[in-house]
Amino acid sequence: MIAIIDYGAGNLRSLENTFAALGVAAKICSSPKEIATAAGIVIPGVGSFSTGMEGLRRSGLLDALQEAVHVQRKPCLGVCLGMQLLADSGHEDGEYRGLGWFPGTVKYIEPAKSEFRVPHMGWNEVYVRLQSPLFEGMGERPIFYFVHSYSFRPEIGSEDCVSATCEHGTEIVAAIQRDNIFGVQFHPEKSQEDGLILLKNFLRLL
Q: List the chain domain ranges.
A: 2-203
What was the pLDDT predicted at 54? 94
Q: 193 an active-site residue?
A: no
CA gap 81, 44 in Å, rounded: 7
Q: What would the pLDDT profile of 93-106 be if each residue is shown by its tens digit?
A: 899 999 999 999 99
User: Among the options 80, 120, 148, 168, which is catalytic?
Assistant: 80
For residue range 138-172, what is the model confidence (pLDDT) as tens digits?
988 999 999 999 999 999 999 999 999 999 999 99
Bond from prior residue into 111 cis (ω within 30 degrees of 0): no
pLDDT of residue 9 exceeding 90: no
SS3 for 120?
strand
What b/e readout covers 26-45, taking b as 16+ CB neighbours within 10 angstroms? Answer: bebbbebebbeebebbbbbb
Query: Per-residue pLDDT tens for 47-65?
Result: 899 999 999 999 999 999 9
Q: How far is CA 20 from CA 60, 86, 137, 200, 205, in A?
A: 27, 25, 21, 12, 17
Q: For residues 15 and 117, what is the distance between their CA atoms, to the nearest angstrom?
A: 27
Nearest C-alpha neighbor of 69 from the set 202, 182, 189: 182
Residue in 16, 34, 92, 189 annotated catalytic: 189
Stated pTM of the model: 0.97
Q: Does residue 187 carry a catalytic annotation?
A: yes
Q: What is the CATH number of domain 2-203?
A: 3.40.50.880
Mean pLDDT across the chain, nearest whole number? 96
Catalytic status, residue 168: no
